[in-house]
Structure 1
Amino acid sequence: MAVKRIWTIDHACGHRADRDLSDRPADRRAGYARWLAERDCTSCWKTSRTEDAEARAAWVEAKRTEELAEAEAWAAQYRMPPLEGTDRLVPWGVRCRHRLMTAAYTALVVEGETGEAAWERIEDAARTVTRAGWWVDQRDTDPEDLPELLEAATEADRPTENPYV
């Protein structure tokens, strides 16, 4: 007698389905059928993944909107200029600038040995960097490296003397 190929699975979601398990070795069909019974049927699984994805997307969008509002309020308070870039890049850059600047303030001034006067020079340098892409590129930077990064960014904007002229 051959091991059965079609198994009736009572899924965890309450649905019942006949599954052809002939693509599995005969000695593994029973175990696979038990495993399937512990899970939702394909339709319920797909529906739950779609709902989860939609809920996550809505949560992410709400979180980004909240972070952007906070970052824009911070930028206004500290007289940070608007950033330049694409419609999609600018809000991301604004959020990245806010996160990096606040983390750097905490690391350098609150927990470190940088004075308020030195921090104001860092803020002044940050005001000159208006390219949103630059702030996005620095999003994973160690906050303590911000002064050096700003110095490098502002040096690139300074005219240099040409020794060959």
Structure 2
Amino acid sequence: MAVKTIWQITHSCGHHAERDLSDRAADRRAGFAEWLAKQECTTCWRTAREGDEQGKAAWLEAKRAQEQAESEAWSQQYRMPPLEGTERAVAWGVRCRHQVLAAAYTTLVLEGGTSEMEWEEIEEAARAIDRAGWWIDQRSSEPDDLAELLQTATEADRPTENPHF
């Protein structure tokens, strides 16, 4: 007698389904059928996933709002100037600036050999960068590179003197 290929499954959600397990090796069908019985049916699984996506989107929106509020409070506390750019870029830039500078402070001052006085110079250079896009572009930069990145950016903003005039 051949091992059956059609199995009656009662899923954990209570729904019943008939499953063709002929694509599985005969000696693995019973174990797979048992595993299926511990899962929700396809319809319930999809419904739960749709709810998950909405829940995930709401969670992400709440997290972004919290990060935004923390970043704006931090910007005021450390007298960071407002950023320039589109509304969306400014909001993102404020978060990126906060994250970049906080990570750099931790790495350079708290864990590294940078003094508070040296950090104040870095912080002052950071205040000179008011373009949101610049901070967004630096969001993945290494904390050790921040001083050089700020120096390059502030030098690019300075008018150059032409010795020929």
Distance 2:140 2:25 in 1: 52
Q: 1:25 to 1:121 in 2, by over 3 A?
A: closer
Q: Tell me, in whole angstroms, the C-alpha distance in 1 between the residues paired with 2:35 and 2:106.
A: 51
CA contact (8 A) 1:3 1:26 kept: no
**Farther off after superposition, 27-36 or 130-139:** 27-36
Shift of 1:30: 4.7
Kindly tell me the number of residue pairs found equivalent between the two proteins: 164
Instruction: Answer whether contact 1:103 1:143 (CA < 8 A) is retained.
Output: yes
What is the TM-score of this pair, normalised by structure 1? 0.82
Judging changes above 3 Å, is the alpha-carbon distance between structure 1 residues 45 and 145 closer, same or farther for their aligned structure 2 residues?
same
For residues 2-81 of structure 1, what are the structure 2 equivalents within 5 Å? 6-21=6-21, 24=23, 27=26, 30-81=30-81
1:15-62 per-residue CA deviation (whole Å, 9 max, x = no partner) reads 11123456x267365554333223110111112212222222222211
| Match in the other structure for 1:114 | 114
Q: Provide structure 2 residue ranges, at least 5 long, that are not aligned to the other structure.
A: none
Question: Partner residue of 2:145?
Answer: 145
Aligned identity (percent) is: 65
2 CA distance for matches of 1:46 and 1:55? 14
The answer to whether the 8 Å contact 1:13/1:44 transfers is yes
Amino acid at match of 2:114: T
Deviation at 1:3, TM superposition (A): 6.3
**Using the alignment, how far apart are the partners of 1:2 and 1:84 within structure 2?**
73
SS in 1 for 2:133: helix
Deviations 1:54-95 (A, max 9, x none): 222222211211111111011112221111223322222111
Aligned position for 1:96: 96
Taking structure 2 as the reference length, the TM-score comes to 0.82
Counterpart CA distance in 1 for 2:112 and 2:125 is 19
In 2: Cα distance, 1:135 partner to 1:2 partner: 67
Q: CA RMSD in A?
A: 2.6
Query: What code does the residue aligned with 2:135 have?
Result: W
